[in-house]
Amino acid sequence: MYVLILTLASAFGGTSIHSIQFIGGAEVCDAAKVAWLSEQKKTQNLTATAICVKSKG
């Protein structure tokens, strides 16, 4: 199982953190990460990061 941790930081000082749990392999998490980051690149004044982490559960 993998957890995708997403962060958005605004140029105006706000930050949000979200996590999404995936049942499946790293490929599913990586595909979601790539799609999310590519969508965030369309938005100005935001810095987006994403990381897939294997959960212990």
For the stretch 29-55, pLDDT in tens is 999 999 999 988 888 788 999 999 998
Query: Of all helices (H) and strands (E), which one includes residue 55?
Result: none
CA 35 to chain centre: 9
* Encoded tokens for 2: 């993998």
Q: Range of 7's domain?
A: 2-54
Domain count, the chain: 1
Give the model's pLDDT for residue 33. Answer: 93
pTM of the entire predicted model: 0.79
* 7-19: pLDDT as tens digits: 999 888 899 999 9
* Encoded tokens for 16: 């949000």
Q: How many CB atoms lie within 10 A of CB 54?
A: 11
CA distance 23 to 53: 12
CA distance 50 to 18: 10
